[in-house]
């Protein structure tokens, strides 16, 4: 039955389901990073782990088991292991973790299984072990290939190590993504071009380009470096876009570029307002039911997270139902990041609400030239992508 009430949620089918696993440790906390990552205190112990791998993996498995009742019978389409620096895990630990995951969930055959990695923690033998454990996609946090820029960003690797990491990754994994930043401290147009051309020389199927921003509660927010002005950043972006387009990459999301059929399936699920189980310290999850959509948050600090799992069987600090009035903004916040947008009927399929609840906002966004007027698509115009925050804010009401 068609739901015509703007205040009740009624999903005719549940969306695709993914699994996110958070690994919270890093060798060094980067000055721009606002993710839930914690520097290993004993740097000399990094090679030996520097953290209790066995204890954390056990906590992750228990955490996953608490979610099975909420997702029973649903198949998981992708896994993303993010951080932090998941590549600090041992190959044996990764194999143990993924084996436990497969034993507890129904995982789609040939599912995309991504691991984030930093060039400073890349070892050929370990990467071979990760591939054997089931990782088939790696996302490398390159940020830049130039020593001066990497030093300014507080990265632990240099340009040569970044290039070596890409070469090792492409030998061991079916798909490789390179994360790069632009608008870096004192970055020139020519320096940005060199980074892009270096990234393109490896011919990886996927590239991500993020504009460096000063996030609250980071070192850079308190001690801001000199960044290029807005016009300079725009020029770097336009240059990147031209170089990537010429090389055969398509911009399919605000910061993501891919060759044909090489988009990140896991991230597409987020942007299309799919569901995801989130396990690990500070992990967020989103789970839909026929009559409601919920969000969850876990304990952020690794020690607090593990202690909570061990003492009470879960580490939830927040479990809430998303109010019907908040769903339009949450949906559009994600969907409008996609350059192709989404089919209009996806709104009702994923929120359980009638399209009429956003008809006024759709009209307003179209009049401003921010939203494509094609009635079969919810899609930002080029102007809308450029001023995405303004477009998304239209749906706050």
Would you list the DSSP string of 313-339?
S--EEEEEEPPGGGHHHHHHHHHTTBT
| Dihedral (Cα; 298, 302, 306, 311), 10-degree rounding | -70
pLDDT band at 121 (very low <50, low <70, confident <90, very high): confident
Residues near 243 by Cβ (< 8 Å), separated by ≥ 6? 193, 196, 197, 200
In 3D space, the residue among 241, 256, 121, 79 whose CA is nearest the CA of residue 178 turns out to be 256
- CATH code for the domain defined by 17-269: 3.20.20.70
Task: Name the residue ranges covered by the structural domains of the chain.
Answer: 17-269, 325-396
- The domain made up of 325-396 has a fold known as Arc Repressor Mutant, subunit A (1.10.10)
316 three-state secondary structure:
strand
What are the φ and ψ backbone dihedral angles of 245, each rounded to 5 degrees?
A: -65, -45
pLDDT tens per residue, range 80-89: 999 999 999 9
pLDDT band at 3 (very low <50, low <70, confident <90, very high): low
In 3D space, the residue among 173, 172, 143 whose CA is nearest the CA of residue 156 turns out to be 143
What are the φ and ψ backbone dihedral angles of 135, each rounded to 5 degrees?
A: -65, 130
pLDDT tens per residue, range 305-337: 999 999 999 999 999 999 999 999 999 999 999
pLDDT tens per residue, range 195-204: 999 999 999 9
**Mean of pLDDT values over 164-191:** 95
User: Is residue 86 a contact partner of residue 56, using CB atoms and an 8 Å limit?
Assistant: no
Q: Is the pLDDT of residue 44 over 60?
A: no
pLDDT of 29 reads 87
């Amino acid at each position: 039955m068609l739901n015509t009430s703007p205040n009740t949620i009624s999903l005719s089918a549940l969306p695709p389901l993914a699994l996110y696993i958070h690994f919270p440790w890093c060798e060094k906390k980067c000055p721009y990073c606002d993710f839930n990552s914690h520097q290993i205190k004993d740097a000399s112990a990094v090679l030996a782990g520097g953290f209790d791998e066995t204890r954390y993996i056990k906590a992750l498995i228990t955490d996953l088991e608490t979610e099975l009742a909420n997702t029973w019978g649903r198949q998981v389409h992708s896994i993303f292991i993010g951080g932090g620096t998941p590549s600090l895990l041992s190959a044996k630990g990764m194999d143990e973790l993924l084996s436990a995951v497969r034993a507890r969930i129904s995982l789609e055959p040939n599912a995309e299984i991504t691991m984030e990695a930093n060039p400073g923690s890349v070892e050929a033998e370990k990467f071979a072990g990760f591939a054997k454990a089931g990782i088939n996609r790696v996302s490398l946090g390159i940020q830049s290939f130039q020593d001066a820029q990497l030093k300014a960003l507080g990265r632990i690797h240099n340009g040569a190590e970044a290039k070596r990491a890409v070469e090792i990754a492409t030998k061991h994994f079916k798909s490789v993504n390179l994360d790069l930043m632009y608008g870096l401290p004192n970055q020139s147009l020519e320096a940005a071009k060199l980074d892009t051309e270096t990234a393109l020389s490896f011919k990886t199927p996927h590239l991500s380009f993020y504009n460096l921003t000063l996030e609250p509660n980071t070192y850079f927010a308190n001690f801001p470096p000199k960044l290029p002005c807005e016009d300079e950043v725009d020029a770097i972006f336009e240059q990147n876009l031209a170089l990537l387009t010429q090389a055969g990459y398509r911009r399919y999301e605000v910061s993501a570029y891919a060759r044909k059929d090489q988009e990140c399936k896991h991230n597409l699920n987020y942007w299309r307002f799919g569901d995801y189980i989130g396990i690990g310290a500070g992990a967020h999850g989103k789970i839909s039911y026929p009559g409601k959509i919920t969000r969850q948050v876990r304990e952020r600090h690794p020690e607090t997270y593990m202690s909570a799992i061990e003492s009470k069987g879960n580490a939830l600090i927040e479990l809430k139902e998303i109010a019907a009035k908040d769903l339009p903004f949450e949906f559009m916040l994600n969907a409008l990041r996609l350059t192709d947008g989404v089919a209009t009927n996806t709104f009702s399929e994923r929120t359980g609400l009638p399209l009429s609840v956003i008809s006024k906002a759709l009209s307003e966004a179209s009049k401003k030239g921010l939203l494509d007027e094609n009635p079969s698509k919810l899609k930002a115009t080029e102007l809308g992508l450029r001023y995405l925050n303004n477009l998304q804010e239209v749906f706050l009401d």
